[in-house]
Amino acid sequence: MRWLVYLYPKTWKERYGNELTDILKQTDTSFKTIIDLLIGIIDAWHMELKERNAYGYRISQVLVVVAVINLFIVLKLKPLGEVIEVEIAATIAVLIAMASLFLAAVALVVSIFKFGRDGLTLKPKLSKAALGLMGSYAVFMVTFLVLIN
């Protein structure tokens, strides 16, 4: 029955695996125990996947907001000079772009050192963060280029 512990997500096993194994050593094998473990496995995976989706959802919300702001700037619904100080906004956009490029490079290098070849894939969260930061770099550079023209 201890083999069921290996069906839990890795993060869950790291935190609770030893405790559950100790409890299973002390309990009798029964149908109810196996059903409880299976329900626990489903619940743990549900929580794990929900956390992963929430992270991606937050990133997508930020990118949508930035894209809408860029859309308003590009379409020039109002004359740009009335809405913002163009020079200040362009300076801020390029500073944010450079900072996000630097952070993306750092995150990617750390991911490569920490995970080896897998650091270049999208499996580690650091690689996903680096990709998101590179995307924000692109968005803010486009904003900068639109503002200076």
Average pLDDT for runs of 10 along the chain of length 149: 78 86 85 82 78 61 69 59 67 82 82 80 81 84 78
Q: Is 149 helix (H, G, I), strand (E, B) or coil?
A: coil
Distance between CA atoms of 58 and 65, rounded to whole angstroms? 11
Parse the chain into domains and list their residue ranges. 1-75, 79-149
Residue 9's pLDDT is what?
83
Residue 4's pLDDT is what?
78
Handedness of CA 63, 61, 51, 38 (dihedral sign): negative
Burial class (CB in 10 A: 0-12, 13-18, 19+), 61: exposed
Distance between CA atoms of 149 and 138, rounded to whole angstroms? 17
